[in-house]
A and B are shown apart, each in its own frame.
Chain A
Amino acid sequence: DQQVKQNSPSLSVQEGRISILNCDYTNSMFDYFLWYKKYPAEGPTFLISISSIKDKNEDGRFTVFLNKSAKHLSLHIVPSQPGDSAVYFCAASDYSYSGYALNFGKGTSLLVTP
């Protein structure tokens, strides 16, 4: 049963605008959340993370927001650039689940158009 859900398979945004990628989770034991970016034929690369004790974490153009009561997190990319076009995976971990292994969503394919 999917514990991390990304309900939007794809998203298209114009260059310079904001990209918002959403993620929902069902397991209240998750205590660490991450976003990964993946290009074709490459492994996922870490983008940004947030601990369950925070509600926001910012790194340059990327901001992750966590709403624990709603079991929802989102990734904001401002401003979006064509190089941001990739598949974005939301992931969550909890030590009681397989030793910090990441539980992934199915991914959202982001296309940033010039």
Chain B
Amino acid sequence: NAGVTQTPKFRVLKTGQSMTLLCAQDMNHEYMYWYRQDPGMGLRLIHYSVGEGTTAKGEVPDGYNVSRLKKQNFLLGLESAAPSQTSVYFCASSYGPAEAFFGQGTRLTVV
């Protein structure tokens, strides 16, 4: 049982490039989330989904888009990367009012 898997683990982008981070969960969870963690900031919610085909904005959504075409996958897109998007990105899933399970993270550097 893999839990929550994030791809890729590391990535370096040039300013203006685009990329997609993939999150896959095998626990049949309805809820999925994307967070970013910056030094001294804790984890902040970017976007979330309460079920297949739904997405909504979180606390820091600017510069990101998401899609949830399949229940098990939640994609995070950066259309035009900026240095301010250098961060560690975590995907998580949950069935609802309980603990969320996190992936191992994606370390993204934008130069």
Taking beta carbons and an 8 Å cutoff, which residues of A are in contact with B?
A: 4, 31-32, 34, 36, 41-46, 49, 89, 93, 95, 98-107
How far is A79 from B34 in the complex, measured between Cα atoms in Å? 34
CB of B103 within 8 A of CB of A46, answer no
CB of B33 within 8 A of CB of A93, answer no
CB of B42 within 8 A of CB of A105, answer yes
B74 interfacial by beta-carbon distance below 8 Å? no
User: Would you list the 3 A-B pairs with minimal beta carbon distance, nearest first?
Assistant: A43-B102, A46-B99, A106-B42
Interface of B is mostly: strand
Q: List 22 A-B contacts (CB under 8 A).
A: A32-B97, A32-B98, A34-B99, A42-B104, A42-B105, A43-B4, A43-B92, A43-B103, A44-B43, A45-B102, A49-B98, A95-B97, A99-B49, A100-B94, A100-B96, A100-B100, A101-B33, A101-B58, A102-B100, A104-B42, A104-B43, A105-B42
Q: Which residues of A contact B94 (CB under 8 A)?
A: 100
User: Interface code B2-32, partner A: CB below 8 Å = 1, 0 otherwise?
Assistant: 0010000000000000000000000000010
Interface of A is mostly: loop
Q: Which residues of A contact B103 (CB under 8 A)?
A: 43
CB of B31 within 8 A of CB of A107, answer no
CB of A46 within 8 A of CB of B48, answer no
Given contacts A45-B102, A46-B101, contact A98 B56 (CB under 8 A): yes
Q: Which residues of B contact A36 (CB under 8 A)?
A: 102
Q: Which residues of B contact A102 (CB under 8 A)?
A: 33, 43, 45, 92, 100
Of B49, B50, B104, the residue contacting A43 (CB under 8 A) is B104
Q: Which residues of A contact B58 (CB under 8 A)?
A: 98, 101
CB of A98 within 8 A of CB of B43, answer no
13 new A-B contacts at CB < 8 Å, known A99-B56, A100-B96: A31-B97, A44-B90, A44-B102, A46-B100, A98-B56, A98-B58, A100-B31, A100-B94, A102-B33, A102-B45, A102-B92, A103-B45, A104-B43
